[in-house]
Amino acid sequence: MKNDCIFCAMAAGEIPCFKIREDGDVIACLDINPFSRGHTLVIPKRHSTGLLDTDDATLAAVIADVKKIAAHLKEKLGADGFNVLQNNGAAAGQSVSHLHFHIIPRRNGDPLVFENGKGDMEELKALADAIRM
């Protein structure tokens, strides 16, 4: 792996991920330790550590994709709603020091807890294939 950052390596195609969307600036892939079915990460290809050191143009591209992907997931998965989560710094729960947004599909009656389980790789692959944009 040439990149020290796991998200930069994913964006460069150096390590696999379950991509559901990619454009010139952003990739979106399923979280392998999901909070819910369809939990998706939206990641800028250009490295920055968080919200405060990301240039406005990159942030605008990422948030526009967050909106598109959230609507797509809501429709494809029959979700009743979704959370958008973005952590800054270890104290806020950021485990990868690269800006990213979580889109967490929700269904009525889901408990509002942010605990993740280990994702099943075959199930994630099938889901990514089914919802790819």
Considering the candidates 39, 47, 72, 100, report the single residue annotated as catalytic. 100
CA distances in angstroms from 5 to 81, 84, 106, 109, listed in the order given: 31, 22, 29, 36
Contact (CB, 8 A) for 52 and 68: no
Residue 77 has a CB neighbour count (10 Å cut-off) of 18
Please indicate whether residue 100 is annotated as part of the active site: yes
Q: For residue 29, give both structure tokens.
A: 């892939």
- Alpha carbon distance 50, 69 (integer Å): 20
- Alpha carbon distance 25, 82 (integer Å): 23
Write out the catalytic residue numbers. Answer: 100
